[in-house]
């Protein structure tokens, strides 16, 4: 019997034996397969929904007002559930006593070399909490779909989130421990806006505040405000190494590069618009060539190919040298942004302009 078939047979047996309506029991999970594979089976084959919580003794899930500024659907008073088998484990194992503040989770489908779609995930927890290893066992509640309706995003597309406006009694519970979460050592630290370990200069704090105030999609899945902050952290490292005399300009560009983003799409429109808007925020101390270089860098930061048809790295943009722009500054900025492709399943070295960023990739 094939491995897959055998797995499904065992899952089926466990499901029949242990998940009975109104029994509300803890499943005795004694299979060798990861629990998220069993959850995936329950969603795909049995049509169940999942809700993760660190509270292990919920008898009935009560609707509560959610607070997700990202979409209208996330603002109802309801019991939320998902079809993704990984996200509820992430929420279940966050120790209630240790995790508060912002946590970010996202899932993206990405295609591999063969064009097959696979899921990749991205998780962030505030740095102070993350350093305390805030994990403890929790529960994934298994729910029947009939009380739920499927959510839509603000553009009207169906999403993998469901809501019930009435209380829901779970069919069964699956205890999960931190070891059941396959991304435990990949959770990134989300540094608070005023990170005391980073020496933010006054000009930087002011710029940050202004850009944050007009950033339209602070809670987006792929480009939340945290993305810009991460690009700032990257550029401090890269520009600090390759063009330290242009550090202020580089940091400015990192805060501003996605300022015109209105959605998570990959087009160049936000880059072109952003280049025009960004100029209004440039600190007075920047030199004319720094300003021109930033405008160029922002304008072209989302290009998918270079004018010569090659990869969009600075070496393939002859106009940079013709116009007397600062190549290293542009390179640092582009690389700082592209290193964040990590979150989307990997960075392709050929899109990086500096040796320094290529080395960072291996760290
Ligand atoms: Fe961008
Ligand atoms: Fe970006």
Tokens of 297: 């860098």
* pLDDT value of position 69: 46
* 314 pLDDT higher than 80: yes
Tokens of 311: 């990869």
Q: How much of the chain is helix, strand and coil, in % rounded to 5?
A: 45, 15, 40
* pLDDT value of position 254: 98
Rounded distance, CA 212 to CA 223, Å? 13
Which residue segment(s) compose the domain that 23 sits in? 3-186
Same domain for 173 and 60: yes
Treating both helix axes as pointing N-terminal to C-terminal, what angle do 225-242 and 327-338 enclose, rounded to 10 degrees? 140
| 3 state SS of 256 | helix
Report the b/e string of 48-74 with b at 16+ CB within 10 A: bbbbbbbeeebeebebeeeeeeebebb
Rounded distance, CA 167 to CA 64, Å? 10
* pLDDT value of position 152: 81
Distance 350 CA to ligand 1 centre (A): 18
* 70 pLDDT higher than 90: no
Cα-Cα end-to-end distance for the chain: 42
Same domain for 9 and 148: yes
Distance 251 CA to ligand 1 centre (A): 15
Same domain for 205 and 173: no
Same domain for 274 and 307: yes
Rounded distance, CA 93 to CA 179, Å? 9
Rounded distance, CA 98 to CA 95, Å? 5
Same domain for 162 and 27: yes
Same domain for 221 and 166: no
* pLDDT value of position 214: 85
Q: What's the half-sphere exposure (Cβ side, CA atoms, 13 Å) at 223? A: 20
* 32 pLDDT higher than 90: yes
- Average pLDDT (185-212) is 75
Q: Phi and psi for 280 in degrees, rounded to 5?
A: -65, -20
Distance 258 CA to ligand 2 centre (A): 5
Tokens of 282: 């440039």
Distance 257 CA to ligand 1 centre (A): 6
Structural domain ending residue among the three candidates 149, 171, 186: 186
Would you mind telling me the total number of residues written for the chain in this entry?
A: 363
Q: Which ligand sits nearest to residue 266's alpha carbon?
A: 1
- Cβ burial of 182 (10 Å; 0-12, 13-18, 19+) is middle
Q: Which residue has the higher pLDDT, 107 or 262?
A: 262
* 110 pLDDT higher than 70: no
Distance 288 CA to ligand 1 centre (A): 23
pLDDT bracket for residue 124 (50, 70, 90): confident
* 335 pLDDT higher than 60: yes
Domain harbouring 240, CATH code: 1.10.3210.10
* 266 pLDDT higher than 70: yes
| Contact between 119 and 107 (Cβ < 8 Å) | yes
Number of domains comprising the chain: 2
Summarize pLDDT for 72-86 with one digit per residue, the tens.
666 678 899 999 999
Distance 216 CA to ligand 2 centre (A): 14
pLDDT bracket for residue 198 (50, 70, 90): low
What is the Rg, in whole angstroms, of the alpha carbon atoms belonging to the chain? 23
- Average pLDDT (268-287) is 94
* pLDDT value of position 18: 84
Same domain for 169 and 112: yes
* pLDDT value of position 267: 87
| Contact between 135 and 95 (Cβ < 8 Å) | yes
The CB density around residue 179, as the number of other CB atoms within 10 Å, is 12
| 3 state SS of 163 | strand
Summarize pLDDT for 150-165 with one digit per residue, the tens.
988 767 777 788 999 9
Summarize pLDDT for 52-64 with one digit per residue, the tens.
999 998 889 998 8
Same domain for 179 and 105: yes
The rounded percent of the chain whose pLDDT value lies above 90 is 57
Same domain for 89 and 68: yes
Q: Which ligand sits nearest to residue 227's alpha carbon?
A: 2
Same domain for 233 and 138: no
Same domain for 241 and 272: yes
* pLDDT value of position 205: 86
DSSP state of 350: G
* pLDDT value of position 1: 58
Same domain for 202 and 173: no
Q: Phi and psi for 146 in degrees, rounded to 5?
A: -65, -25
The rounded percent of the chain whose pLDDT value lies above 70 is 87
* pLDDT value of position 195: 47
Q: Which ligand sits nearest to residue 340's alpha carbon?
A: 2
Structural domain ending residue among the three candidates 128, 153, 186: 186
Q: 363, 309, 301: which is closest to 336 by C-alpha?
A: 301
Structural domain ending residue among the three candidates 186, 213, 238: 186
- Cα–Cα distances (Å) from 272 to 31, 179, 257, 261, in that order, read 53, 45, 10, 10
């Amino acid at each position: 019997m094939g491995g897959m078939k055998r797995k499904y047979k065992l899952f089926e047996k466990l499901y029949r034996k242990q998940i009975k309506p109104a029994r509300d029991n803890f499943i005795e999970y004694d299979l060798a397969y990861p629990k998220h594979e069993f959850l995936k089976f329950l969603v795909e084959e049995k049509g169940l929904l999942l809700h993760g919580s660190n509270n292990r003794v919920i008898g009935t899930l009560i609707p509560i007002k959610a607070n997700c500024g990202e979409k209208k659907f996330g603002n109802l008073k309801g019991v939320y559930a998902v079809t993704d088998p990984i996200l509820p484990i992430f929420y279940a194992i966050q120790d209630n006593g240790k995790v508060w503040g912002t946590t970010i989770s996202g899932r993206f489908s990405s295609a591999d070399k063969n064009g097959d779609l696979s899921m990749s995930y991205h998780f962030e927890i505030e740095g102070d909490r993350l350093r305390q290893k805030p994990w403890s066992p929790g529960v994934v509640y298994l729910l029947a779909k009939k009380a739920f309706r499927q959510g839509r995003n603000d553009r009207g597309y169906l999403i993998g989130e469901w809501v019930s406006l009435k209380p829901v009694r779970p069919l069964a519970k699956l205890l999960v421990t931190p070891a059941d979460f396959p991304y435990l050592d990949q959770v990134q630290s989300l540094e608070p806006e005023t990170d005391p370990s980073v020496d933010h200069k006054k000009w930087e704090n002011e710029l940050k505040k202004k850009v944050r105030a007009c950033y339209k999609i602070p809670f987006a899945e792929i480009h939340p405000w945290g993305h810009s902050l991460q690009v700032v952290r990257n550029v401090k490292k890269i520009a600090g190494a390759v063009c330290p005399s242009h550090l202020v300009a580089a940091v400015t560009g990192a805060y501003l590069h996605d300022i015109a983003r209105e959605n998570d799409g990959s087009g160049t429109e936000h880059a072109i618009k952003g280049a025009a808007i960004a100029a209004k925020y440039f600190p007075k101390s920047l030199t004319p060539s720094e300003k021109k270089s930033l405008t160029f860098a922002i304008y072209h930061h989302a290009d998918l190919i270079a004018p010569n048809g090659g990869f969009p790295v600075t070496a393939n943009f002859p106009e940079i040298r013709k116009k007397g722009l600062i190549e290293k500054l542009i390179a640092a900025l582009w690389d700082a942004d592209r290193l964040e492709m990590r979150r989307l399943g990997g960075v392709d070295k050929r899109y990086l302009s500096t040796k320094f960023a290529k080395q960072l990739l291996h760290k």
